[in-house]
Structure 1
Amino acid sequence: MRAKLDELVTAALQRGAAVPAFTCYDFTTATAVVEAAEETGLPVILNVAPKTAAARAGQRLITALRSLADGAAVPVCVQLDHASDLAVIRESVRSGADCVLADGSALGFEENIALVRGVRAVLNADGGTAVVLEAELGGLAGDEDKAFGVDVQAAGLTDPTQVRDFAERSGAQLLAVAIGNVHGKYKGAPKVRWDVLERISAETTSSEATVPLVLHGASGIPAGELLKARTLGVGKVNFNTELRSGILATLEAETAAHRADGENLQGLLGRWNASAREFAAATLRTLGE
């Protein structure tokens, strides 16, 4: 069933939980994630990467995910992730995305605010007033679509002193932060800066309108630390690398046997689904129960 991202995340925080978001490059993975959500009875977010959305069949995928989400027995959001191209954002919303990460994190502070406000203006003019906007302040090192090892020291941190001003002026309804998290795989153990998150949390919860926080690059961060993040205002947690790694490992282990079994593609896709579903269900339970 359709749900508003900000309301979904706020409700999760109120019960001491968080909602996971999984990047889905295809319908098989998205189906597995939704099945896991229905199995656990918990809400979930289907993320679509910007390169996927801009690809030839990207908008068809978003439409398919919207239909999958609408037919689910639990609340499901479809989000366009890390987007800055206004044309892709507008097209993706028309195709069925109901939330967008307007990502100006590579820009200067004022330019980042201007991007988020510009996306809101474009969507409002296009009838998308109900679309929920997430923004990102601080730079995450690494690649969103490729899991290279990333030195945590390369990650930029969110400046807590900028958070309240950014949230109020940009109008973002959720705020993704950089606290030592990275996209991809960590070189060495993740080093979450709890001191930075605590200061950010104090800023976002003391303003007139509380802004839920988002943690990107959660793959590889121990479950105990993710649970701690929930207590500091993180209500949405993004996963990509671990989901992809599990799927690829399954395909590597299973392809030869299914080829020998009469080119059994249906069976192989079933194992793909099972791998994604098991990871998603375990993550949903960790964060949502």
Structure 2
Amino acid sequence: MRARLDELVAGRLAVGAALPALSCYEFGTALAVVAAAEDAGVPVALLVPPAAARGRDGSRLIAALRTLADGASVPVSVQLDHATDVGLVLEAVAAGADAVLADGSKLPLEDNAALVARVRELTAGSGTVVEAELGDIAGDEDRALSVHAAGGTDPELVAGFVAASGAQLLAVSVGNVHGRYAGEPRLDWPLVAAVRERCPVPLALHGASGLPEGDLARAGAAGLGKVNVNTELRAAVLDATQELLPRARAAGDDVLTLEAARRAAAHRFTGSLLRTLTPAPQDAH
């Protein structure tokens, strides 16, 4: 079921919940993520990392995810994640992505805003939702490195940046990291509140892998409407593969056994995340 990412996030925030957004480097993981969302009856976003989106196979993956999303019984968005290349953005949108993160977070403030505004301009009329990132989120989206949180998003810059860029969602730095947390993770909730107060669009929390369940459960009520997960999902799939590989090879059915195990692990992880991000009715106020 096709749906606008910003509308999905707004709908989740209205009930004190956050939209789960999970990185899918291949189609099997995406099948499991969507199946778990359908079982739970809640929407989900499928994130396509740039490493998976580049080249001919990347366009084919996005097209396949578009078909999967359109056929799902719950709303599903397909988002190109952390794109710094405008050409890749256009290829992804042509292949079926309905949202993109135009990531200029490593650029000077004005250049970051200009990149996002350019993507908005080039995708105008396509219905593409454009997310931006403001603030230094430490780590690497595709590598499970252990890093410490970097400087946070400056609340005083938020309103001007959103106005200049036209961003429809804003990813922020509030103690979160990409990859693994070095030491105990500590989200800066007062900073979240200060940014949310000044931001006219919904906020996104990247780097949710490794955060305590309590923090994830609190996200939606605190105004963090989209929660991105990559490392923990990859780890769950990899652990299942490593555990079953010797037995699968011995039995001679390694392809079917491993694929089933990978999907089951992704399904379990996604189901658990969905439950955490969706508060009970009495907790949603």
Same-fold status (TM-score > 0.5): yes
Alignment of structure 1 residues 73-88 onto 2, 5 Å: 73-88=73-88
Separation of aligned partners in 1, 2:143 and 2:254: 28
For 2:176, the equivalent position in structure 1 comes to: 181
Q: CA deviation at 1:63?
A: 0.3
Q: CA deviation at 1:160?
A: 0.6
Structure 2, unaligned stretches of length 5 or more? 280-285
Q: Are the counterparts in 1 of residues 53 and 92 from structure 2 also a CA contact under 8 Å? A: yes
Q: CA deviation at 1:194?
A: 1.4
Separation of aligned partners in 2, 1:182 and 1:24: 19
For 1:113, the equivalent position in structure 2 comes to: 113
For 1:151, the equivalent position in structure 2 comes to: 148
The partner residue of 1:278 within 251, 264, 268 is 268
Structure 2 counterpart of 1:151, one-letter code: H
Q: Are the counterparts in 1 of residues 168 and 202 from structure 2 also a CA contact under 8 Å? A: yes
For 1:264, the equivalent position in structure 2 comes to: 254
Separation of aligned partners in 2, 1:63 and 1:182: 30
Separation of aligned partners in 2, 1:281 and 1:178: 26
SS at match of 1:20: strand
Alignment of structure 1 residues 69-148 onto 2, 5 Å: 69-124=69-124, 127-128=125-126, 130-148=127-145
Separation of aligned partners in 2, 1:196 and 1:233: 11
- The percentage of aligned residue pairs carrying the same residue is 53
Q: CA deviation at 1:50?
A: 1.0
SS at match of 1:100: strand
Q: CA deviation at 1:227?
A: 2.2
Q: Deviations over 1:26-74 (max 9, x none)?
A: 0000000000001100100000001211144111000000000111010
Separation of aligned partners in 2, 1:228 and 1:273: 28
For 1:61, the equivalent position in structure 2 comes to: 61
**How many residue pairs were aligned?**
279
Separation of aligned partners in 1, 2:7 and 2:274: 18
SS at match of 1:214: strand
Asked whether 1:31 is paired with 2:31, we answer: yes
For 2:158, the equivalent position in structure 1 comes to: 163
Separation of aligned partners in 2, 1:179 and 1:151: 12
Asked whether 1:248 is paired with 2:238, we answer: yes
Q: Deviations over 1:133-153 (max 9, x none)?
A: 10000011111011011123x
Q: Deviations over 1:183-218 (max 9, x none)?
A: 0011111021112111101112xxxxx311000000
SS at match of 1:231: helix
The partner residue of 1:237 within 223, 227, 244 is 227
Q: CA deviation at 1:275?
A: 0.2
Structure 2 counterpart of 1:156, one-letter code: G
Separation of aligned partners in 2, 1:53 and 1:268: 24
Separation of aligned partners in 2, 1:229 and 1:64: 30
Q: Are the counterparts in 1 of residues 130 and 169 from structure 2 also a CA contact under 8 Å? A: yes
Separation of aligned partners in 1, 2:89 and 2:257: 36
For 1:8, the equivalent position in structure 2 comes to: 8
Q: Deviations over 1:247-278 (max 9, x none)?
A: 11111110010111113311110010000000
Structure 2 counterpart of 1:74, one-letter code: V
Q: CA deviation at 1:175?
A: 0.4
For 1:207, the equivalent position in structure 2 comes to: none
